[in-house]
Amino acid sequence: MKQLNNVILTAAVALSAVAFAPAYAQHDLHAQHAQHGEHAAAPAELTDGEIKKVDKEGGKLTIKHGELKNLNMAAMTMVFRVQDAAMLDKVKAGDKVRFTADKVNGTTTVTHIELAN
């Protein structure tokens, strides 16, 4: 009886490996594509804003902005951290910009910024 239980257990483990292998392989394939940028997530919608202050020492921008839909945030003026300090050199107070922001480590952070036309 014990030997029969071992055979059944071994068969169940083997069958579960076969059943889940295609799903795991497909997940792994998607991960490989994402690493190469082939299926990267779509960026958040760009929001219009105006730079009010650039704080290079603090790594922050004060932006008067429109609604940030991805953050469920109404239009307002607020201080943001920047994901990349190089962003601070691209803008100055008074510039009209288009940007994206997201929560990064719990802090609302500008993840992309460009001058508006």
Q: What is the CA radius of gyration of the chain?
A: 24
Whose CA is closest to 110, among 89, 64, 79?
79
pLDDT digits (tens, 9 = 90+) for 16-58: 555 544 444 444 444 444 444 444 455 568 999 999 999 999 9
Which pLDDT score is estimated for 39?
A: 42
Under 8 Å between Cβ of 68 and 47: yes
User: What pLDDT, in 10s, does the model give residues 52-92?
Assistant: 999 999 999 999 999 999 999 999 999 999 999 999 999 99
| CA–CA separation, 102 and 112 (whole Å) | 10
| E strands in the chain | 47-55, 60-65, 76-82, 96-104, 107-115
> How far, in Å, are 6, 24, 61, 67, 110 from residue 75 at the CA level?
65, 43, 16, 4, 15
Is the overall model pTM greater than 0.85, yes or no?
no
Contact 93, 52 (CB under 8 A): yes
